Amino acid sequence: MKDNQHVLVFDLGNTRIKSACFFNDELIEVEYFNPDDTSPIISYCNKYKGAEKIVASVRSDEYNQNFQSTINGCQFIDVATPNGLISNYQTSTLGIDRICNAVALKNQKGGTRVSIDIGTCIKFDCIDSDGVYLGGSISPGIKLRYKSLHDYTAKLPLIDENGSQQLIGNSTFKSISSGVINGVFAEILGFIDFYNANFTDLTFFVTGGDAENFDFPLKNGIFVDENLTLKGVYLIYKFNAV
């Protein structure tokens, strides 16, 4: 790895692409892109000619192949890429996004560390005080819950409401948004309580595109780090850099 070199890292998510520029280990810029339009990404990369371009993706193989052929010189990391984690996970199907979050957690100081990634899915991932990855949980995120209510009922509408919602909905629209948004928040707070009941010296890191919909109490070891996954991508790049 060369000093004084820009490194662009990309997180290809299901609903958006997020990118960060690192320089001398410092995150200096974050950008967001529409997955269906790569032209702004090309322009962004041209802004940093000569930069390393590192990509982590949860999208389809076809999309990844097209992205790689469009963005010249980009390098994908995946579940087979060495990352330095000691893991207790029992299968080889752990997603690269969860791996990146775990690597970022390992780099944080403290005892047991837990990431709460609120996006298409809600993912908890846990690193113990010895730096061992234990695993976590996956459940549907906000949009998946709205979509399932519409797809698996005959008459409930498909809505896309974000932000805080009143507890008691006085219409079908408001009842759905209360159930989904307040239900997600209650689930997350409940999981935090479960972790606190099973571990001591806990620190939680909240991240993900939908985290902005919730007002987490920034105390009792709960912090917001909207760039946690990108930091993990960068750390995996560093681990493999020659």
Please calculate the CA angle 64-65-66 and round it to the nearest 5 degrees: 90
* pLDDT value at 3 more than 90: no
Residues 17 and 126 in one domain: no
Q: How many residues does the chain have?
A: 242
Residues 50 and 29 in one domain: yes
Which residue, among 136, 137, 159, has the nearest Cα to 147 in the 3D structure? Answer: 159
* Entry pTM: 0.92
Q: For residue 162, which amino acid is it?
A: N
3-state secondary structure of 133: strand
Q: Is residue 218 part of a domain?
A: yes
Longest pairwise C-alpha distance within the chain: 60
* pLDDT value at 95 more than 60: yes
Average pLDDT, the chain: 93
Residues 72 and 98 in one domain: no
Q: Which domain holds residue 67?
A: 6-76
Which ranges in the chain belong to alpha helices (H)?
Answer: 39-47, 61-70, 96-106, 142-151, 172-177, 183-198, 228-240
Q: Is residue 181 part of a domain?
A: yes
> Two tokens at 190?
């409940």
Residues 115 and 16 in one domain: no
Give 24-45 pLDDT, tens digit per residue: 999 999 999 999 999 999 999 9
Q: Is residue 105 part of a domain?
A: yes
Catalytic residue IDs:
97
Residues 121 and 215 in one domain: yes
Give 132-143 pLDDT, tens digit per residue: 999 999 999 999
- Give the range among 140-144, 158-162, 176-180, 183-187 with minimum mean pLDDT: 158-162
Q: Which residues contact 80 (CB under 8 A, 6 or more apart)?
A: none
- Assign 2 a pLDDT band (cuts: 50, 70, 90): low
Q: How many domains does the chain have?
A: 2
- Give the range among 144-148, 196-200, 207-211, 215-219 with minimum mean pLDDT: 215-219
Residues 10 and 123 in one domain: no
pLDDT top residue among 202 and 163 = 202
Residues 105 and 219 in one domain: yes
